[in-house]
Amino acid sequence: MDTTTKFEITPFSGAGNLSFGMIPTEVEQILGAPDQVSTNHLKQRVEFRSFMNLAYTAGQQEKLCHIGFGRQMEDITLNGINFFKNQPIEVLKKLVSIDGTPLLYMGFIVFLDLGIALTGFHDNDASQKAVTVFEKGSWDKRIGKMKEFQLSNG
């Protein structure tokens, strides 16, 4: 896998050949061995590969539940929207038109209807640009702490 590998996001399902629910050995058959493996604060297995990170459910039966892409990935798309080749404001406009109620939480724009979260797109911080694909319900515990996201006119 390299930065030109294509991943089409399927909301709440996965990206490219990666599907939520896969176990680490299935993911390894597709992407190869991870560069690094650790455990996060939720006791989830987290794998790092080039400009991607993947998280699995905690417990004995680890299953893929989160896919994160860094800004170096060139071909991450959803409905024809290329996250890292298109201008950030254009990406946001298109996503807001699809999911009319995005929320903001700790620097992430969360699109609950699309199963994605973005950072670095709304604050002109290209070094922080990233896209996360998540399972349905992943952000539910935080909804009460989220604020409505509004596109700025500038």
Q: Give the number of other CB atoms < 10 A from CB of residue 17.
A: 14
Report DSSP state, residue 57.
-
- The CA-CA-CA angle for residues 123, 77, 51, to 5°, reads 70
Round the CA-based radius of gyration of the chain to a whole number and report it: 15
pTM: 0.91
The separation between the first and the last C-alpha atoms of the chain, rounded to the nearest angstrom, is 37
Provide φ and ψ at 93, rounded to 5°.
-60, -45
Question: In terms of DSSP bridges, do strands 103-105 and 6-10 run parallel, antiparallel, or are they unpaired?
Answer: unpaired
- pLDDT digit string (tens) for the chain, length 154 residues: 677 789 999 999 999 999 999 999 999 999 999 999 999 988 899 999 989 999 999 888 999 999 999 999 989 999 999 999 999 999 999 999 999 899 999 989 999 999 999 999 988 777 889 999 999 999 999 999 999 998 875 5
Q: Which helix (H) or strand (E) holds 19?
A: strand 18-19
